[in-house]
Amino acid sequence: MKFLSFESDVSLGQNASEFIAKEIARHDSFVLCAATGGTPTITYRELVKKKSAFEHVRLTLIKLDEWGGIEPTHASTCESYLQQHLIEPLSFNQERYISFRSDAPDPEAECRRIQESLHGLGRINLCILGLGMNGHIAFNEPADFLQPGCHVARLSESSQQHPMALQRSLPGTFGFTLGMADILQSETILLMVSGQKKKEIFNEFMNRKITPRLPASFLWLHPNVFCYHTADSLH
C-alpha cells in the first residue's frame, strides 16, 4: 500500500484528481467505480476541470453503493450526489452508467442485476473508496463474515448516523453495495481518508490486522492500493 499525506482537504483533492485523470487518460476504455460522501467532493470537482485530458476514453461509471428504500431523486441519495458532481458536469453517457436503483421493488433482484452488469464489464480499472467511521468500505459493514458480491446490506447504527442519512425524512435501515470481491478484484484502488474524525479508525486500520470487524483492513491484501490522507487523520 502506498501512502501520500496532504496538509489539507484541498491539496488531497487536487492530487487525487490528478491521479484519477492520469489513470483514465492512459486507456482507450476505462471502468471507474465511484464512492460518494464528503471526502471525494473536492476530488470530483477538480477532476471535472481535467475532463479534456480523458474525453477520448470510453468511460464506464459504476456507483459503489446506495441507500435503500428512498426515491432516486431525493437530495441525499448517492444517485443525486453522482449526478451533481460527476455525471452532469462530465456530460456523461447514461448508457455507460451502472447504478443501483434506490427504490427497487425487489432489492435482491436489483443486486443480481448489478452483479450481472459487472460480470459483463470485467475488471474495474479504478475503485475509489472512503473509510467509514466504523471501518466499513462501501456498505460492507463490520460483521462476523463479509460477502463477496453485490448484496443488500443491513446498515449499522454508525452508518445510519451518516450525514447523508440524517438528511433523509426517515432513517435508513438497508443499502445496496458492491461486495468485497468486487472491490478487491479492481486493478487499482484509491482510498481517501480526511479529517480528525477519522483518526481513531484510521489508526486502527494502520495496525494491519485483517478482520471482518474492520472491513477496510482487507485492502492490505490488495497489491495496488494508493491511500491519500490528510495529515490530521493519522497519529
pLDDT per residue over 55-90, tens digit each? 999 999 999 999 999 899 988 899 999 999 999 999
- Average pLDDT score over residue span 116-128: 95
- Average pLDDT score over residue span 187-208: 96
Is-catalytic flag, 141? yes
Number of domains the chain contains: 1
User: Is 5 in a helix, a strand, or coil?
Assistant: strand
What is Dmax (Cα atoms) for the chain? 45
- 3-state helix, strand, coil split of the chain in percent (to 5) is 40, 20, 40
Instruction: Give yes or no for a contact between 148 and 180, defined as CB atoms under 8 angstroms apart.
Output: yes
The active-site residue out of 9, 23, 66, 141 is 141
Strands 174-177 and 97-98: unpaired
- Average pLDDT score over residue span 128-135: 95
- For residue 185, what is the domain's CATH number? 3.40.50.1360
pLDDT in tens, 152-190: 999 866 555 555 544 555 446 799 999 999 999 999 999
- pTM score, two decimals? 0.93
Q: What number of residues does the chain have?
A: 235
Is-catalytic flag, 136? yes
Residue 134 cell numbers, joined? 466504523
pLDDT of residue 166: 47
pLDDT of residue 170: 45
Strands 151-154 and 174-177: antiparallel
What sections of 73-217 are H helices per DSSP? 78-82, 107-121, 157-160, 163-166, 180-184, 199-205
The active-site residue out of 134, 204, 222, 232 is 134
pLDDT of residue 157: 62
Q: Return mean pLDDT, the chain.
A: 92
What domain range includes position 225?
2-233
The active-site residue out of 85, 136, 162, 229 is 136
User: Is 131 in a helix, a strand, or coil?
Assistant: coil
